[in-house]
Amino acid sequence: MGIIKEYRQSLKLTDAEEPLDLYFYRIISFVFVKLIYPLPVTPNQLSILAMIMGIVSGYFFAGATAEDYARAALFYSIYYLFDLSDGQVARLKKNGTRLGRIIDGIADYVTHGAIYIGLGIGLSRVTGEPLQSWLLVLATLLSLLFHVVLFDFYRNRYLEYYYGSISLYGEDLQLFKDEYLALKKQGGNYVKRFIYFVYLKYLGLQQFFTKNNTEKTFAFDRDDFLRRNKPVIRLWSLMGSSLHITLLIILAMLNKIYFYFYILLFGINAYAFVMLTIQYFTDRSTKPAGEDA
């Protein structure tokens, strides 16, 4: 198998990949995965290592010195390497599991929780204004969540049309429920059952908040939807998590953390609202399902 073909097999659909991931980060992680491929390393082990690196990064962000920020950037970079590698290992070795997806998600949330707590502590130390510092960090965190949720929703919608099935809110949710019930019947496995229970609540919450949108998933003609949304999803991908991670790594290394907050609050938020406008008019111009040409 050619190396390029093998690299593509380690990816999700390239139309919906973030450019920074596709042309930089995933290439590095693919090389790393090839190096560790012969070893008995599992995706779950990489997810846990990623979480540990993320927590260490958050610890150094709390130090708020130039040296601490440089160390935080280093460990955040290692976190992202492991975070990308777990999925690539799962796809290449074909040993991914639903539990692995949950652990990967938990690792992401724990990492960014630790990092933003670290940013808040560090900023409070530097400014001597805890209230203002924490409000700035909180506003930035909410902006980050806003960006990620928006991109994930429209990317998932695009993937649902591309593959012709609902993967997140319908069949997938039922599969998680079935496996959780099977674990309950078996008894034991308390940690695994608790993880499934929490994740099911999370999926249920997502389903509740996106109910109106997911019910309309196939409201459009598939071919027309994909044709019109292919360039739009690429614009959405510019504001994905890789951009936020890259900005924080670079600005931490330069000891310019304040720029990170203001770029997210003003620059990327403005871009998000532009994208919502573009998406609105794109959806309005897309042919409804069942309508003749």
Domain boundaries, the chain: 3-164+218-285
| pLDDT computed for residue 206 by the predictor | 58
| pLDDT computed for residue 65 by the predictor | 96
Q: DSSP class of residue 65?
A: S
* 24, two tokens: 């930089």
User: Out of 33-37, 91-95, 130-134, which region has the weakest mean confidence (pLDDT)?
Assistant: 91-95
User: Out of 52-61, 165-174, 216-225, which region has the weakest mean confidence (pLDDT)?
Assistant: 165-174
| pLDDT of 194 over the 80 cut | no
User: What is the C-alpha separation between 28 and 82, in angstroms, rounded?
Assistant: 11
CATH fold label, 3-164+218-285: Four Helix Bundle (Hemerythrin (Met), subunit A) (1.20.120)
Q: What is the pTM of this model?
A: 0.84
| pLDDT computed for residue 172 by the predictor | 61
Check residues 99 and 265 and name the one with the higher pLDDT. Answer: 265
| pLDDT of 221 over the 70 cut | yes
The overall average pLDDT reported for the chain is 86
CA 42 to chain CA centroid, Å, is 20
| pLDDT computed for residue 121 by the predictor | 98
CB 75 within 8 A of CB 108: no
| pLDDT computed for residue 90 by the predictor | 82
Strand residues in the chain grouped as ranges (E): none
User: What is the C-alpha separation between 161 and 145, in angstroms, rounded?
Assistant: 24
- The band of 88, judged by pLDDT with boundaries at 50, 70 and 90, is confident
Q: Could you report the per-residue pLDDT of 227-277, keeping only the tens digit for each? A: 999 999 999 999 999 999 999 999 999 999 999 999 999 999 999 999 999
Q: Could you report the per-residue pLDDT of 102-131, keeping only the tens digit for each? A: 888 888 889 999 999 999 999 999 999 999
Q: Distances from the Cα of 55 to the Cαs of 49, 113, 143, 232, 256, in angstroms?
A: 10, 9, 21, 35, 21
* 55, two tokens: 């927590």
CB 92 within 8 A of CB 33: yes
* 71, two tokens: 């160390």
CA 276 to chain CA centroid, Å, is 19
Residue 51: which of 94, 99, 113, 97 has the closest Cα?
Answer: 113
Q: Cα dihedral angle (68, 70, 73, 77), rounded to 10 degrees?
A: -130
- ∠ CA 33-102-138, nearest 5°, is 100
